[in-house]
C-alpha cells in the first residue's frame, strides 16, 4: 500500500507523523512510503534520512495522493483537495471540531482521530494524548525555569544559602505528573491539586504534597470520580473551597503550572486575577490550558505577559517545542495504531467492532461517525 507523509502546514507545528524508524518498519512490511520533501526538517529529520530508511521523497500532491495518509494535524481545505475520496487519514484530527469532521466526510475520507482512543490498557502504546502531554509537562517546567530569575534547587554556598523554588501544579494528569517529576529533578519543593481522588497517591509517590480539598457531599464525591479517567466539572461549592486553598498556596509559590482540562469544555478557572495579585513579584505561571480558554484568566494565547509583577506564559502546544522527541513518540503511536487497521497481507481492514477503531473513526464513505 502507498503511505503518504505530508509536511505539516499549521503555524507553529514542528512535528511529523513518521520518522526513519517507523518508515523502516512500513517498508519492511512491503509498503511504499512517500514523504513530502522537507516534512521532517523542523523535527531535525532530513530528506536523506528518510530516503536511507527506504522512503521516496515527493511533492505535497504525491504524499496526499497516497491510499493512507499519516498526519499530525487535520488537513486544511487546500490539503483535503489533494486527497482522493476513499483514502484513509490518520492524525490528531480534533474530535471536537465538528466543522472539520464534516469537511473530511464530504471529501469521502475515512478519518481516524487518535485523540479519541479510549484510555484502556490495550490503547496505551497508541495514546497520543499521553505521549504529547508527557513532553509538554516537561517543557512547561523548562520554560518556567528559564523565565524564573532564581534558582530551582536549594543551594548552600560560601555567599550564603539560596532557598529551593516552591512549585504548585494544578491538574495532575499525564502532563502534571511529568511536570512534578521534572521540577523534582531540578530540586524544587512541590505541591499539587486535582479533583480526582486517585491522584493523591500518585502525587505523593513522586515526593510532592497533595493539596486536599475534602468532598463534603456524595454528589461532590461522585462527580470527582470523573468518567473514563477524565475529570468532570466540579460543583461550584467545591470549586470555591479549592480556590480559597489555592489562593493561600499560590501566595507562597514561585512557579505555578496549570494543566487542568475537562474534555470538550472550556478549561476551569483555577488561578483568579485576585490570586495573581497576591502572588510574589517575579513568580511565574505557565498556563498549559491556554488553548482551551486558560486556567488563569490573565494568560494570553501565544504570549508571555507580566501582570502584577507575575510572568504568565501562554505558549500553546508545548510538545511542538520538543519537535524531535515529540515526533519520535507520535510516529510510534501512529505505527501502533496502524496494526489495528492493516491486515497481515498489508491491506486496509477496518474492523468497526474493535473498540479503539470504533472510537477513533470520525467519518467513512461520506458518513459522520463521531460519537
Ligand atoms: P487531562 O489533560 O484531561 O486533564 C488534566 C488534569 O486536570 C486531570 O488530571 C484532571 O483531573 C484535572 N482537572 C480537571 N479539572 C480540575 C480542577 N478543577 N482542579 C484541578 N484539576 C482538575 O488529563 P490526562 O492527562 O489526559 O489524564 C486523564 C486520566 O487518564 C488520568 O487519570 C490518566 O492517568 C489517565 N490515563 C490512562 C491511560 C490508560 O490507562 N491507557 C493512559 C493515559 C492516561
Check if the beta carbon of residue 4 is closer than 8 Å to that of residue 32. Answer: no
Measure the CA–CA gap between 130 and 173, rounded to whole angstroms.
9
The CA 107 to ligand 1 mean position distance, Å, reads 34
For atom 24 of ligand 1, the residue with the nearest CA is 173
**Whether the CB of 175 sits within 6 Å of ligand 1:** yes
For atom 20 of ligand 1, the residue with the nearest CA is 194
The CA 194 to ligand 1 mean position distance, Å, reads 9
**Whether the CB of 306 sits within 6 Å of ligand 1:** no
Measure the CA–CA gap between 364 and 101, rounded to whole angstroms.
10
Q: Quickly name the fold that domain 2-116+323-363 has.
A: Rossmann fold (3.40.50)
Count CA atoms within 13 Å of residue 76 on its CB side: 7
Domain ranges of the chain: 2-116+323-363, 134-316
Burial 249-284, CB ≥16 within 10 A → b, else e: bbeebbbbbbbbbbbeeebbbbbbeebbeebeeebb
Angle at 30 between CA 56 and CA 126, to 5 degrees: 90
Q: Tell me the whole-structure pTM to 2 decimals.
A: 0.94
The CA 171 to ligand 1 mean position distance, Å, reads 7
The residues that are catalytic are 119, 124, 127, 130, 230
For atom 26 of ligand 1, the residue with the nearest CA is 173
Residue 49 has a pLDDT of 98
**Distances 302 to 8, 95, 218, 264 between C-alpha atoms, Å:** 19, 23, 40, 21
Helical H segments across the chain, by residue range: 20-28, 47-52, 60-64, 77-80, 98-106, 128-147, 174-185, 199-205, 218-224, 236-252, 273-278, 323-338, 355-360
**Whether the CB of 131 sits within 6 Å of ligand 1:** no
Residue 263 has a pLDDT of 84
ipTM over 0.90: yes
CATH number of 134-316: 3.40.50.720
- State the first-to-last Cα distance of the chain, in angstroms, to the nearest integer: 29
**Whether the CB of 129 sits within 6 Å of ligand 1:** yes
For atom 23 of ligand 1, the residue with the nearest CA is 173
Please give the DSSP secondary-structure letter assigned to residue 363. Answer: E
User: Could you say which residues of the chain have pLDDT below 50?
Assistant: none
For atom 37 of ligand 1, the residue with the nearest CA is 119
For atom 35 of ligand 1, the residue with the nearest CA is 229
Helix (H, G, I), strand (E, B) or coil at 38: coil
**Whether the CB of 196 sits within 6 Å of ligand 1:** yes
**Whether the CB of 119 sits within 6 Å of ligand 1:** yes
**Whether the CB of 111 sits within 6 Å of ligand 1:** no
The CA 115 to ligand 1 mean position distance, Å, reads 13
Q: Do domains 2-116+323-363 and 134-316 have the same CATH topology?
A: yes
Measure the CA–CA gap between 248 and 105, rounded to whole angstroms.
50
Nearest to 250 by CA among 231, 274, 266, 234: 274
Residue in 95, 197, 260, 289 to alter for ligand 1 test, most ligand atoms within 8 A of Cβ: 260
The CA 232 to ligand 1 mean position distance, Å, reads 10
| E-state strands within 227-303 | 255-258, 284-287
**Whether the CB of 124 sits within 6 Å of ligand 1:** yes
Nine-digit cell at 82? Answer: 489533494
Give φ, ψ of 361 to 5 degrees.
-75, 110
Amino acid at each position: 500500500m502507498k503511505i503518504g507523509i505530508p509536511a505539516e502546514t499549521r503555524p507553529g507545528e514542528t512535528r511529523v507523523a513518521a520518522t526513519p524508524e517507523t518508515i523502516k518498519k512500513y517498508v519492511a512490511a512491503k509498503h511504499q512510503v512517500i514523504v513530502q520533501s522537507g516534512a521532517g526538517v523542523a523535527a531535525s529529520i532530513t530528506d536523506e534520512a528518510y530516503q536511507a530508511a527506504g522512503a521516496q521523497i515527493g511533492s505535497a500532491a504525491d504524499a496526499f495522493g497516497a491510499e493512507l495518509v499519516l498526519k499530525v494535524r487535520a488537513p486544511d481545505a487546500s490539503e483535503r483537495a489533494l486527497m482522493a475520496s476513499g483514502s484513509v487519514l490518520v492524525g490528531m484530527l480534533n474530535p471536537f471540531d465538528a466543522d472539520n469532521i464534516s469537511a473530511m466526510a464530504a471529501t469521502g475520507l475515512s478519518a481516524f482521530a487518535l485523540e479519541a482512543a479510549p484510555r484502556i490498557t490495550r490503547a496505551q502504546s497508541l495514546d497520543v494524548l499521553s505521549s504529547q502531554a508527557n513532553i509538554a509537562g516537561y517543557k512547561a517546567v523548562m520554560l518556567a525555569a528559564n523565565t524564573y530569575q532564581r534558582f530551582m534547587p536549594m543551594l548552600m554556598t560560601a555567599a550564603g544559602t539560596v532557598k529551593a523554588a516552591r512549585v504548585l501544579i494544578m491538574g495532575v494528569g499525564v502532563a502534571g505528573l511529568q511536570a512534578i517529576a521534572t521540577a523534582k529533578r531540578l530540586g524544587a519543593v512541590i505541591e499539587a491539586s486535582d479533583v480526582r481522588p486517585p491522584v493523591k497517591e500518585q502525587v505523593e509517590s513522586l515526593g510532592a504534597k497533595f493539596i486536599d480539598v475534602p468532598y463534603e457531599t456524595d454528589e461532590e464525591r461522585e462527580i470527582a470520580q470523573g468518567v473514563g479517567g477524565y475529570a468532570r466539572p466540579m460543583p461550584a461549592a467545591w470549586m470555591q473551597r479549592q480556590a480559597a486553598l489555592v489562593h493561600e498556596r499560590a501566595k507562597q509559590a514561585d512557579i505555578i503550572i496549570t494543566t487542568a482540562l475537562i474534555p470538550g469544555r472550556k478549561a476551569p478557572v483555577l488561578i483568579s486575577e485576585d490570586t495573581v495579585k497576591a502572588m510574589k513579584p517575579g513568580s511565574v505561571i505557565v498556563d498549559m490550558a491556554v488553548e482551551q480558554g486558560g486556567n488563569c484568566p490573565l494568560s494570553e494565547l501565544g504570549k508571555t505577559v507580566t501582570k502584577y509583577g507575575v510572568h504568565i506564559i501562554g505558549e500553546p502546544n508545548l510538545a511542538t517545542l520538543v519537535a524531535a522527541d515529540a515526533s519520535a513518540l507520535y510516529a510510534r503511536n501512529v505505527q501502533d495504531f496502524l496494526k489495528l487497521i492493516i491486515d497481515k497481507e498489508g491491506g486496509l481492514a477496518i474492523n468497526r467492532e474493535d473498540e479503539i477503531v470504533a472510537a477513533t473513526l470520525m467519518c467513512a464513505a461520506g458518513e459522520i461517525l463521531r460519537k
